[in-house]
Amino acid sequence: MTATPIFDQAHTAWPARDKDPATSHDAVPDKPTVALVQARVLAILDAHGPCTHDEIHDYYTLRHGRVSEQNIRSRTSESHKSWRVIALDREGRTFSGRRAVRWAVRRARP
């Protein structure tokens, strides 16, 4: 497992904006759920190496049950913005055969 702390940053920006309708605010996942999915995505990347969003989604579904593909993309993006994961390359493939970014856990430099 990675030595990267999972819960070390408080998230202040959430998906719904102030001017969004109430339904958008109701749909926003709560912070513990977001943190849990982020931790699971990091664990998947740590265990299985560089993965595309499709691959992360498949590993997640097999291990933890159904989650939306958008949820995986959002949690990966948040982890990227907080410097926990990197966009390694575009050598991955989607299920339809298109090129895709492969994501990897950011390792500390020695």
The HSE-up count of residue 98 (CA atoms within 13 Å, CB side) is: 5
pLDDT at 29: 64
Listed by start position, the domains of the chain span 30-105
Fold of 30-105: Arc Repressor Mutant, subunit A (1.10.10)
Q: Per-residue pLDDT averaged across 45-64, rounded? A: 96
Helical H segments across the chain, by residue range: 22-27, 31-48, 53-64, 69-81
Q: What's the burial of 22, exposed, middle or buried (CB within 10 Å: 0-12/13-18/19+)? A: exposed
The mean predicted confidence, pLDDT, of the chain is 83
Q: For 26-50, write each residue's pLDDT tens digit.
A: 666 666 788 899 999 999 999 998 9
Under DSSP, the state recorded for 38 is: H
Using pLDDT thresholds of 50, 70 and 90, give the confidence band for residue 20. confident
